[in-house]
Structures are given as structure tokens and as C-alpha cells.
């Protein structure tokens, strides 16, 4: 399994960044691949579910797997034989915080060889999306 990672600076406290990023209803504003989210079940919590509707038309089922405000949040998305996991760790830093991300794609069967490739390809997009979120929160 290949994991991609990185760090993005946010000019807001960890609590502000956490609350914004952990709420799937905010995602279409900062995640470039999304057109919308659907079927959000309640407020952010472990076990919260929703469906990402991507611009290519894929509809992965998403679930929050970790939520330790304001320190760590994680999700898993499933679509056919592919699983994508994203974990965000929030670290206080002047003048706000750093968001450390870890991202992994795994596949079953014929999708298995694509996991490492998709992980590497997606890391720059994850970083760019988090930078977009930091910009939104800074304004």
C-alpha cells in the first residue's frame, strides 16, 4: 500500500480549519473534483455518511472514520472495487495551524495495481484542494 502525504498551512486556528474541513457540506467549495454532496447524515461524527458527486459523474459512498476535534479527522470513500482514505491531522502553528494529510487509494481485483498509481497522481490534487480551503478560510 502506498500512502501520499503533505502539509498545508492554514491561517486560522485548528478548531476553525477542523470544523470547516470535517463538514462534507463544505466540500464542493474547496474540493475541485466535486460538483455536490448528497445524502449527508446529520452533523459531523464518526459514522457520518454521504455521497460525493464528482465532476466525472462517479458517486463514491463516503464515511467519517475518525473525529477527534480539533486534532484528527479521517474518511473512507468506496466506489466499486476502489477505496480511498484521507486522514487530516491539525497541528497548531503560528499564525494558525498546519493540516497534515495522508491519502491512500486501494483496489480489489483488477483495480489492485491502480492503487499506488492513483495515490501518487491524487496527492497534488489533495494538496491543491486543501490550499483552496485555506484560502477560503483566510478571506
Q: pTM of the full predicted structure? A: 0.93
Contacts (Cβ under 8 Å, ≥6 apart) of 29: 133, 136
Please report which residue ranges of 13-138 form alpha helices under DSSP H: 14-22, 27-30, 114-138
Domains of the chain: 4-138 (3.30.530.20)
Separation CA 53–CA 104 (nearest Å) = 19
pLDDT given at position 1: 67
CB neighbours (10 Å) of residue 15?
Answer: 13
- C-alpha cell of residue 9: 498551512
* Range name among 6-15, 110-119, 127-136 with the lowest pLDDT average: 110-119
Separation CA 119–CA 127 (nearest Å) = 12
Long-range contacts of 57-62 (CB under 8 A, 24+ apart): 60/84, 62/24, 62/37
Residue located via cell numbers 490534487: 125
**pLDDT of 35-92, one tens digit each?**
999 999 989 999 999 999 998 888 999 999 999 999 999 999 999 888 999 999 999 9
Amino acid at each position: 500500500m502506498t500512502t501520499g502525504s503533505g502539509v498545508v498551512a492554514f491561517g486560522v486556528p485548528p478548531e476553525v480549519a477542523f470544523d470547516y474541513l470535517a463538514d462534507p457540506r463544505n466540500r464542493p467549495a474547496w474540493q475541485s473534483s466535486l460538483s455536490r454532496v448528497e445524502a449527508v447524515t446529520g452533523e459531523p461524527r464518526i459514522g457520518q455518511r454521504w455521497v460525493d458527486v464528482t465532476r466525472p459523474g462517479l458517486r463514491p459512498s463516503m464515511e467519517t472514520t475518525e473525529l477527534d476535534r480539533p486534532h484528527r479527522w479521517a474518511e473512507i470513500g468506496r466506489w466499486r472495487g476502489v477505496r480511498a482514505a484521507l486522514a487530516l491531522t491539525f497541528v497548531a502553528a503560528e499564525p494558525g495551524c498546519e493540516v497534515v494529510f495522508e491519502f491512500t487509494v486501494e483496489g480489489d481485483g483488477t483495480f489492485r495495481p491502480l492503487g499506488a498509481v492513483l495515490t501518487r497522481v491524487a496527492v497534488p490534487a489533495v494538496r491543491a484542494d486543501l490550499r483552496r480551503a485555506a484560502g477560503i478560510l483566510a478571506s
